[in-house]
A and B are shown apart, each in its own frame.
Chain A
Amino acid sequence: MRQETMIINMGPQHPSTHGVLRLLLELDGETVITCKPIIGYLHTGIEKNTEYRTWMQGVTYVTRADYLSPFFNELGYCLAVEKLLGVEAPPRAQVIRVLMNELNRISSHLVWLATAGLELGAVSVMLYGFREREILMDVFEEVTGLRMNHAYIRIGGVIMDVPDIGITKMRAFLDEMPSRIDDYERILNDNPIWLERNVGVGVLGADRALELGVTGPVLRAAGVPADLRKDMPYCGYETYDFDVITRTEGDAYARYRIRLDEMRESMKIIAQCLERLEDPGPVMIEDPKIAWPAKLSVGPDGIGNDPAYLHHIMEESMEALIHHFKMVTQGVQVPPGEVYQAVESPRGELGFYVVSNGEHRPYRVKIRDPSFVNLQATPDMVEGALIADAIAAIASIDPVMGGTDR
């Protein structure tokens, strides 16, 4: 009998490839012999673009990389620039940063739950995931004016304080969400189909994961308690009470359980943030050579320029107008040097290697995106398995192509 393998392209336009990921698969029947991920379909030149814009404008570029975790991109970039400048944002701004990051972690994990569920045929889980994510999108809109691409975290702090309506909605979310997570677990934890499709699928051990540079829930599912919030804390994470969730199985099911438990841990952190926000304080550094000059406020038509500030620069003070113009067109000047700053994104280590040559714009911004690195583990997870399991394995990595391709 003649034995032949078949080579097929899965993607780049395939509903289960999380955007535009292409897999070159060599199949023997339904068994995957080799798998080669091909990326780049969403490359937008974000790193090159930042070299042509001011330091401040950089925030609006990097936030678009991994579009499911915009606050993490903004935070990593701003922390790196602040390290170059040798400054720190005020305490209240740090609390707001942590708060928005943890809300974002939950919304990102919810999109993962929804899409991973959909890919395995759990349509109700998809609906639940997007339903709860919508609550958070609403919160983001109240706080930043936008559902994504916020540019809310800025060099030296955040662009404006959290409005009361945002706090109210966050509290409502904290009250509602635990029972929703219980629902997901009741639907999935012991669901025979879910177990059949996830247990023992896409297994990746700790040693191999570390060799491949894998971080985040995929690494923690293999038993390594690596979490930058604990290991190399930033924004005062060492002062918050939360646990790093690990499991030992290293399969798709362990990653699912970890993400659900991480949502609970994030809610613990959010509750602590809300407590700390009861003390007022500045949310932007005072140094006028660094702080963004414009003031924003919430009006009847949403978030926009603060009328009092506009009146001040347009009607009252020529010096204020000159300062505003200079800061907006040139922005901060950053002393020469290089730094690497990483934050723990929903997908793992999100690093920013930022170089300044002393000018008004970055010399180099390298985004070390966790999706880019974690996707390298795909062949390890799917070779030798059935093609249907490849779908579950890739979903369990939670790759976001906007971050992968940048």
Chain B
Amino acid sequence: MAERLRARFPDTIEARGEVTVLVDRDDLLDSLAWLRDDDELSFGFLSSLTATDWPGTDPRFWVVYDLRSIEHDHRARVKVGLAEGDAHVTSVTDMFPTANWHEREVFDFYGIVFDGHPDLTRILLPEGWEGHPLLKTEELGGVNTRYHGAFIPPVDTRTAT
């Protein structure tokens, strides 16, 4: 499978029995369509969609698409790098309706914008929440929850008094 992928994607990585394909942001939809329509690959099922944050590196964000083939029982991962200050990528909701909530979650957690998403709003955090909590620059705790003025202090100040 890796050989077949490498013919289309030179940036194919094999590690720990898993295959990862790095694609350009502008090539994302074409790449996913190709992976889905190729008879030997048939990646028609989007298992998971998430992101990772690497401050201080370029690209800062990786959006990660984990694909599964129900027909052939194999997997592949597609990754798109996004630069800081330009963190937006085409939504894949038209091709994979399941991406709808996943993309909302990534927007909620990381602030990454998915162009063309039908309803890009927060999904797990309340409306009006400030910030995107899974960014590495955000502390664990220490965020004013805006709920009746409740405040959770940062972890490093939470020792016994």
Interface residues, chain A, with chain B CB atoms under 8 Å away: 39-40, 43, 45, 47-49, 51-52, 83-84, 86, 210-214, 224, 226, 231-232, 337-340, 342, 349, 351, 353, 355, 363-364, 366, 368, 372-373, 375-376, 405-406
On chain B, the residues within 8 Å of A52 by CB distance are 140, 155
A-B contacts, 9 of them at CB < 8 A, read A40-B125, A48-B140, A51-B140, A84-B16, A340-B47, A340-B75, A340-B77, A373-B98, A376-B101
A282 CB to closest chain B CB (Å) equals: 24
A-B pairs, 6 with minimum CB distance? A213-B98, A368-B48, A40-B124, A366-B50, A43-B124, A231-B73
Q: Once the chains are docked, how many angstroms separate the CA of A219 from the CA of B98?
A: 14
On chain A, the residues within 8 Å of B31 by CB distance are none
- 8 Å CB interface, B50-100 against A: 50, 52, 64, 66, 68, 70, 73, 75, 77, 96-98, 100
Q: Once the chains are docked, how many angstroms separate the CA of A406 from the CA of B122?
A: 15
Interface residues, chain B, with chain A CB atoms under 8 Å away: 15-18, 20, 44-48, 50, 52, 64, 66, 68, 70, 73, 75, 77, 96-98, 100-102, 122-126, 133-134, 140, 155
A40-B125, A376-B100 known; 13 new pairs, CB 8 Å cut-off, are A40-B122, A43-B124, A43-B125, A48-B140, A49-B140, A86-B16, A211-B98, A338-B64, A338-B77, A339-B16, A366-B50, A376-B98, A406-B124
Instruction: Say yes or no: B66 contacts A210, CB within 8 Å.
Output: no
Instruction: Say yes or no: B16 contacts A373, CB within 8 Å.
Output: no
A335 CB to closest chain B CB (Å) equals: 10
Q: DSSP class of A's interface residues: helix, strand, loop or mixed? A: mixed
Q: Once the chains are docked, how many angstroms separate the CA of A368 from the CA of B101?
A: 11
Instruction: Say yes or no: B48 contacts A353, CB within 8 Å.
Output: yes
Q: Once the chains are docked, how many angstroms separate the CA of A232 from the CA of B68?
A: 10
On chain A, the residues within 8 Å of B68 by CB distance are 349
Q: Once the chains are docked, how many angstroms separate the CA of A373 from the CA of B66?
A: 14
**In the complex, which residue of chain A has the Cβ closest to the Cβ of B53?**
A364
Instruction: Say yes or no: B123 contacts A40, CB within 8 Å.
Output: yes
B149 CB to closest chain A CB (Å) equals: 20
On chain A, the residues within 8 Å of B44 by CB distance are 210
On chain B, the residues within 8 Å of A372 by CB distance are 101
Q: Once the chains are docked, how many angstroms separate the CA of A212 from the CA of B101?
A: 10
B69 CB to closest chain A CB (Å) equals: 10
Instruction: Say yes or no: A213 contacts B126, CB within 8 Å.
Output: no
Assuming the contacts A52-B140, A224-B70, A376-B100, asked whether A366 and B124 have C-beta atoms less than 8 A apart, the reply is: no
Q: Once the chains are docked, how many angstroms separate the CA of A351 from the CA of B48?
A: 8
On chain B, the residues within 8 Å of A213 by CB distance are 45-47, 96-98
A223 CB to closest chain B CB (Å) equals: 12
On chain B, the residues within 8 Å of A43 by CB distance are 124-125
**In the complex, which residue of chain B has the Cβ closest to the Cβ of A85?**
B16
Q: Once the chains are docked, how many angstroms separate the CA of A306 from the CA of B45?
A: 47
**In the complex, which residue of chain A has the Cβ closest to the Cβ of B136?**
A51
Q: Once the chains are docked, how many angstroms separate the CA of A366 from the CA of B66?
A: 11
Q: Once the chains are docked, how many angstroms separate the CA of A406 from the CA of B16?
A: 27
On chain A, the residues within 8 Å of B45 by CB distance are 210, 213
Instruction: Say yes or no: B52 contacts A39, CB within 8 Å.
Output: no
**In the complex, which residue of chain B has the Cβ closest to the Cβ of A355?**
B52
**In the complex, which residue of chain A has the Cβ closest to the Cβ of B67?**
A340
Instruction: Say yes or no: B66 contacts A340, CB within 8 Å.
Output: yes
Instruction: Say yes or no: A47 contacts B134, CB within 8 Å.
Output: yes
On chain A, the residues within 8 Å of B122 by CB distance are 40
**In the complex, which residue of chain A has the Cβ closest to the Cβ of B66?**
A340
Q: Once the chains are docked, how many angstroms separate the CA of A250 from the CA of B69?
A: 21
On chain A, the residues within 8 Å of B126 by CB distance are 40
Q: Which interface residue of A213, A353, A363, A373 has the most chain B CB atoms within 10 A?
A: A213
Partner of B50, one of A84, A210, A353, A375: A353
Instruction: Say yes or no: A342 contacts B47, CB within 8 Å.
Output: yes
Assuming the contacts A48-B140, A52-B155, A364-B52, asked whether A212 and B66 have C-beta atoms less than 8 A apart, the reply is: no
Instruction: Say yes or no: B52 contacts A363, CB within 8 Å.
Output: yes
On chain B, the residues within 8 Å of A339 by CB distance are 16, 18
B68 CB to closest chain A CB (Å) equals: 8
Instruction: Say yes or no: A39 contacts B96, CB within 8 Å.
Output: no
Assuming the contacts A40-B125, A373-B98, asked whether A337 and B133 have C-beta atoms less than 8 A apart, the reply is: no
On chain A, the residues within 8 Å of B125 by CB distance are 40, 43
On chain B, the residues within 8 Å of A49 by CB distance are 140
On chain A, the residues within 8 Å of B134 by CB distance are 47-48
Q: Once the chains are docked, how many angstroms separate the CA of A352 from the CA of B46?
A: 14
Assuming the contacts A340-B48, A363-B52, asked whether A405 and B124 have C-beta atoms less than 8 A apart, the reply is: yes
On chain B, the residues within 8 Å of A51 by CB distance are 140
Instruction: Say yes or no: B15 contacts A337, CB within 8 Å.
Output: yes
A153 CB to closest chain B CB (Å) equals: 20
**In the complex, which residue of chain A has the Cβ closest to the Cβ of B133?**
A48
A363 CB to closest chain B CB (Å) equals: 7
Instruction: Say yes or no: B50 contacts A373, CB within 8 Å.
Output: no
Q: Once the chains are docked, how many angstroms separate the CA of A349 from the CA of B73?
A: 13
**In the complex, which residue of chain B has the Cβ closest to the Cβ of A86?**
B16
Instruction: Say yes or no: A226 contacts B101, CB within 8 Å.
Output: no
Assuming the contacts A340-B18, A376-B101, asked whether A351 and B66 have C-beta atoms less than 8 A apart, the reply is: yes
On chain A, the residues within 8 Å of B20 by CB distance are 338
A87 CB to closest chain B CB (Å) equals: 11
Q: Once the chains are docked, how many angstroms separate the CA of A45 from the CA of B139?
A: 12
